[in-house]
Amino acid sequence: MSNDVGPATKRGFKDAVYAATARVGGALSNGSRLELLELLLQAERGVDELSTLTGMSVANTSRHLQILRASNLVSVRKEGVRSFYRARPASVPLWVAIQSFGARHVAEVKVLLDQYFDDRGALAQMPPEVLAAEVASGRIVLIDVRPAVEFAAGHIPGALSVPIERLPFELDRLREDRQVVAYCRGPYCVLAEQAVAVLSEAGLHASRLASGYVEWAASRSSHPGPDDLA
């Protein structure tokens, strides 16, 4: 059998490959779907919960989830008539690359980040081994201010679960002569910024990680597995 492939066949092959790959980009070309993917990187969630978190209708949320699923970015688990979604581990580096590119190279994103987040206690992302050493030595008290369900699905080792709504009631536990570092879902998450404000007002030395759990886990390995990521 001849291995010679004519120009038309070659062109057809390239067109088909690029078209199929572009569907992933199309799935991520919507801000609502990017937010859904970020939430699903934190923990498995049902459609109703995602609808509440994003402020979208259940029908619209379901439609966006189907588009993400068709591009193999998320998977679904059935429990009776209910559907629960989670991000596929392979989508993690893609998400990290997109948000990193936006923060670094999209002028509008950079302006919005500068306007929304002040520089109070901002702490650049540490290499995982450095962060682990600082937490293990006791020089840093690391708090995860995401919802408890997200902490249970995966968190930075050594972190304490202190959901943002519980933080005012946990201040006594944190009143030590150590730096308190808060983290949440990622660079666009406002929970850690809110935590720094609460901690600083209470007189604690507080700062926040510039990124979140997913970025930390992705930095540990170029091929994160299910045990590394929610």
Q: Which residues of 126-157 are buried (b: 16+ CB within 10 A; e: fewer)?
A: bebeebbebbeeeebbbbbbbbeebbebbbbe
In the block, tokens 């987040």 appear at 117
Does 184 participate in catalysis according to the annotation?
Answer: yes
Contact criterion met (CB below 8 Å) for 138 and 155:
no
Which residues, including other chains, have CB under 8 Å from residue 121's CB and lie 6 or more apart? 196, 200, 206, 207, 208
What is the distance between the terminal CA atoms of the chain, rounded to a whole angstrom?
47
The H-assigned helical ranges of 28-167 are: 31-42, 47-54, 58-70, 92-105, 107-116, 128-137, 148-153
Q: Which of 180, 184, 229, 230 is catalytic?
A: 184
SS3 182: strand
The angle at the Cα of 168, spanning 163 to 173, to the nearest 5 degrees, equals 85
Pairwise CA distance, residues 81 & 135, whole Å: 43
- The Cα–Cα gap between 191 and 197 comes to 10
Active site residues: 184
